[in-house]
Amino acid sequence: MSTGAIRQSAVYEVSQSLGDLPESLRMRSLEWGVLFSVTGRHTVAQIGELLGLPKDARDAAFGRLLDRGLLRERELTYSEYLRAAATSDDSEPKNLQEFLRSGAAWRRETSESTAVVAPASAPAEASASKTVEQNSLSLESEDDPDFDPTVTRAVPTMSREEIMAFRPLSSPSPRGRKEAKPDTEAPSTAGPDTPAPQVKTLSLRALMSYIMDRAPDLSSGQLDIYRVFIRVDTDLLKRNGITTLRFKEDRRVQDPELQSAISASLKSTLGLAFPDEAYV
Amino acid sequence: MEADQLRLFKQITLDYFSKLAPDDEPALGEPYLQFGEARVLDYTSWVEIRGEYDGCLYLTSPTPMLEELLGINGEPEVSERTLLDMCRELSNVLAGNASQAFGGHWEISVPHSLSRGMVNGLELPESTFVMPIRWRDSESLLVVGLTQPSERRA
């Protein structure tokens, strides 16, 4: 397996059209999920974050896809690499100057491995356009007369949504071998297919907690949860790898069809809508 | 199905084991939902229910659990026949418990006692609520299986 070679800042693309995959190809659902998430524009770290995968599972899945020859790594330009590195806990050795320049300096050393922080001059409310600016933050910040790379700043942490809105690398050619355009031209490549779709991830634990909190007691809450899931197609659940569900266990659901089925059942069974906190 | 009914059903099933061996209290494990293929062990005591939903209630046990129960009931012989007899005894208990807990609003069928091979021929609900009961190093599963109201037969 190639897990040892998986770098969080690496950007992969599929090596052949998904339509050309042999029908006999069989993989675990996690590997299919990763394969379908590979865009040639997002880093390993971003895809792992998008799918809510632990690092080991993510790297193992990428490793197996590489072993099967289904992925190949994209070559990055200097500016692309800087943006890619800012999405990951890149453990590549750097000296202080390199570290501060790489963009990784703006990440706080916390357990939130992808928590990216904005420079002190950036407003706390990061809009999509501001997020774009932040992606090349360290280089731009050095032009600020007040910028001092040796000073540690207390700066706001980006939300998960903002992380997922991280500006992807510019699109490669269909088979990915054409060199990406320089960073300065990136906005012009923002065609209809450039922005990655925002996939909302549903946390079943958060949803179950929400239902439990509204029930008079534990048994009632568990029964309510069961009632909701009775109406959800079990094939759909199984397709998403859910064959058992413990009431305190978390499962992340990205499949819009399954989200929709659970939402419909929640509404018809308990008269409730997904709460905001059910999304992570 | 009301939570109070389910709680009562669970409790009187646990009480059955408590009364058999007061020194070996049964422990209720963490319940969970099972989707797709229902969990079935070696012997299953089973009743159908019909009410707000259609479905079934069953207690499914491994052979060692029934062997323990045979021993407590003074039955020295352990064979397919006696194990199925013990399963029938559990089925009667289960049906009685179900009537006590859900009676009134639910129709409850006569109990069935099934070995693993016999269960395979049944069409079990695809979503089940599983409550593990641990007793004397074995684990039985008390299961509620309900089907969608829209699936109800005419």
Domain end, chosen from A17, A50, A73, is at A73
Q: For B54-87, write each residue's pLDDT tens digit.
A: 899 999 999 999 999 999 999 889 999 999 999 9
Whether residue A261 lies inside any domain: the answer is yes
Task: Report residue B75 as tokens.
Answer: 């039955």
Please indicate, yes or no, whether residues A64 and A93 belong to a single structural domain of this protein.
no
Whether residue A197 lies inside any domain: the answer is no
Whether residue A219 lies inside any domain: the answer is yes
Q: What is the dihedral of CA A210, A213, A219, A223, to 10 degrees?
A: -30
User: Do the bridges between strand A252-253 and strand A202-203 make them parallel or antiparallel, or are there none, so unpaired?
Assistant: antiparallel
Chain A residues within 8 A of B126 when measuring between CB atoms: 234
For residues A122-143, one letter each, b for 16 or more C-beta atoms within 10 angstroms of the residue's C-beta and e for the rest, the string is beeebeeebbbbbbbbbeebee
Domain end, chosen from A73, A105, A120, is at A73
Please indicate, yes or no, whether residues A172 and A121 belong to a single structural domain of this protein.
yes
Please indicate, yes or no, whether residues A16 and A42 belong to a single structural domain of this protein.
yes
Cβ contact, residue pair A230, B148, below 8 Å:
yes
Chain B residues within 8 A of A222 when measuring between CB atoms: 3, 31, 129
Q: Is A221 within 8 Å of A212 (Cβ atoms)?
A: yes
Q: For A186-237, write each residue's pLDDT tens digit.
A: 333 444 455 555 678 999 999 999 999 999 999 899 999 999 999 999 999 9
Whether residue A194 lies inside any domain: the answer is no
> Pick the residue with more confidence: A233 or B20?
A233
Task: Report residue A262 as tokens.
Answer: 């659970």
Q: For B94-118, write each residue's pLDDT tens digit.
A: 888 888 888 777 888 899 999 988 8
Whether residue A18 lies inside any domain: the answer is yes
Please indicate, yes or no, whether residues A98 and A125 belong to a single structural domain of this protein.
yes
Q: Is A70 within 8 Å of A14 (Cβ atoms)?
A: yes
Concatenate the DSSP letters of all residues of B64-75 into one string.
HHHHHHHHHTT-
Please indicate, yes or no, whether residues A155 and A118 belong to a single structural domain of this protein.
yes
Q: Is B83 within 8 Å of B103 (Cβ atoms)?
A: no
Please indicate, yes or no, whether residues A221 and A168 belong to a single structural domain of this protein.
no
Whether residue A196 lies inside any domain: the answer is no
> Pick the residue with more confidence: A206 or B122?
A206
Torsions phi, psi for A54 (to 5 deg): -65, 155
> A59 is in which domain, residue-wise?
3-73
Torsions phi, psi for B133 (to 5 deg): -120, 115
Please indicate, yes or no, whether residues A26 and A87 belong to a single structural domain of this protein.
no
Task: Report residue B26 as tokens.
Answer: 């049964």
Q: How far is CA A148 from CA A100, A120, A123, A137, A144, in A?
A: 10, 11, 18, 13, 9
Domain count for chain A: 3
| Side chain identity, residue B38 | A
Torsions phi, psi for B28 (to 5 deg): -90, 125
ipTM value of the model? 0.90
Please indicate, yes or no, whether residues A60 and A15 belong to a single structural domain of this protein.
yes
Q: Is A74 within 8 Å of A12 (Cβ atoms)?
A: yes
Q: Is A278 within 8 Å of A203 (Cβ atoms)?
A: yes
Please indicate, yes or no, whether residues A126 and A82 belong to a single structural domain of this protein.
yes
Q: Which residues contact A262 (CB under 8 A, 6 or more apart)?
A: A202, A207, A228, A229, A232, A253
Cβ contact, residue pair B30, A246, below 8 Å:
yes
For tokens 């692309």, the residue is A80
Task: Report residue A140 as tokens.
Answer: 């731009």
The answer to whether residue A268 neighbours chain B at the CB level (below 8 Å) is no
Please indicate, yes or no, whether residues A103 and A128 belong to a single structural domain of this protein.
yes
Chain A interface mutation, best of B2, B28, B33, highest count of A Cβ atoms under 10 Å: B33
Q: Is A38 within 8 Å of A168 (Cβ atoms)?
A: no
Whether residue A208 lies inside any domain: the answer is yes
Domain end, chosen from A25, A49, A73, is at A73
| Dist. CA B108–CA B9, nearest whole Å | 13
Please indicate, yes or no, whether residues A124 and A53 belong to a single structural domain of this protein.
no
Whether residue A241 lies inside any domain: the answer is yes
Q: Is B47 within 8 Å of B111 (Cβ atoms)?
A: yes
Q: Is B26 within 8 Å of B135 (Cβ atoms)?
A: yes
In the predicted structure, residue A82 carries a pLDDT above the cut 90: no
Q: For B26-44, write each residue's pLDDT tens digit.
A: 999 999 999 998 999 999 9
| Dist. CA B107–CA B92, nearest whole Å | 16
Nearest CA of chain B to the CA of A276: how many Å? 24
| Side chain identity, residue A1 | M
* Closest CB to A219 among B6, B36, B126: B6
Give the pLDDT mean for A166-183: 42
Q: What pLDDT, on the 0 to 100 scale, is given for residue B1?
A: 77
Residue of B nearest to A246 (CA): B32
| Side chain identity, residue A174 | P
Please indicate, yes or no, whether residues A110 and A167 belong to a single structural domain of this protein.
yes
In the predicted structure, residue A4 carries a pLDDT above the cut 90: no
Residue of A nearest to B54 (CA): A230
| Dist. CA A41–CA A87, nearest whole Å | 12
Confidence band for A238, pLDDT divided at 50, 70 and 90: very high
The answer to whether residue B35 neighbours chain A at the CB level (below 8 Å) is yes
Domains of chain B by range and CATH? 3-13+32-122+130-147 (3.40.1550.10)
Q: Which residues contact A71 (CB under 8 A, 6 or more apart)?
A: A12, A13, A14, A15, A35, A38, A62, A65
In total, the C-beta contacts within 8 angstroms joining chain A to chain B are 61
